[in-house]
């Protein structure tokens, strides 16, 4: 069964929606590996700060089915799909990696390029999977974080939610 890493983010009723996402993922996939929750500024648009974290779990679901289930969790938490890509959201759950898969099976290119582009994705992933290697780059997430110089690096603030 492959290990899956997903990013979770919210900037509308952040604590409520992050907690709801974690509860839904636990109910569906069992034990989770959770990073710390970080508060980060909105990126790409003017908006309220986000709560972001990474969760890991093992699943035998095919990527397309997994994407559909995550989308259903977003929808159950009031996610609107009519707003622009860079906009406020109740909940955003994205598959970052699916084992060591490197293709677009399931409609999304894996691993997601957001891993190396955004501090709010890479830092929590490095926290929980620092020794794992990026399936394309071959470098560990800890190494990638140590060399990260992108925006948001200094803006991460841990929020103790006790998930």
Q: Which pLDDT tens digit goes with each residue over 22-80?
A: 999 999 999 999 999 999 998 877 889 999 999 999 999 998 899 999 999 988 987 77
**Positive/negative CA dihedral, 150, 154, 159, 162:** positive
- Determine the pLDDT at residue 143: 97
- What local confidence, expressed as pLDDT, does residue 42 receive? 87
What's the pTM value of the predicted model, to 2 decimals?
0.92
| C-beta of residue 162 within 8 angstroms of C-beta of residue 155 | no
Q: For residues 30 and 62, what is the distance between their CA atoms, to the nearest angstrom?
A: 17
Q: What is the pLDDT of residues 103-139, one digit of tens each?
A: 776 667 789 999 999 999 999 999 999 999 999 999 9
CA distance 27 to 24: 5
Q: How far apart are CA 79 and CA 82, in angstroms?
A: 9
* CA gap 64, 145 in Å, rounded: 29
CATH code matching the domain that covers 3-159, chosen among 3.90.550.10, 2.40.50.140, 3.30.70.560, 3.40.50.740: 3.30.70.560
In the chain, count H helices and then E strands: 5, 6
Ramachandran region, residue 152 (left: φ > 0; alpha: ψ -120 to 50; beta: rest): left
């Amino acid at each position: 069964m492959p290990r899956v890493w997903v990013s979770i983010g919210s900037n509308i009723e952040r604590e409520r929606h992050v907690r709801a996402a974690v509860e839904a993922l636990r109910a569906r996939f069992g034990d989770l590996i959770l990073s710390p929750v970080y508060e980060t500024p909105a990126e790409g648009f003017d908006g309220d700060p986000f709560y972001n974290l990474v969760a890991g779990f093992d699943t035998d679901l095919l990527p397309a089915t997994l994407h559909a289930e995550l989308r259903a969790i977003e929808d159950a938490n009031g996610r609107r799909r009519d707003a622009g890509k860079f906009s406020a959201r109740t909940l955003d759950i994205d598959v970052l990696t699916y084992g060591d898969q490197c293709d677009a099976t399931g409609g999304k290119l894996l691993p997601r390029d957001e891993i190396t582009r955004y501090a709010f994705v890479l830092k929590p992933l490095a926290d929980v999977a620092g020794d794992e290697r990026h399936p394309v780059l071959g470098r560990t997430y800890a190494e990638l974080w140590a060399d990260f110089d992108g925006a948001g690096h200094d803006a991460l603030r841990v929020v103790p939610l006790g998930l």
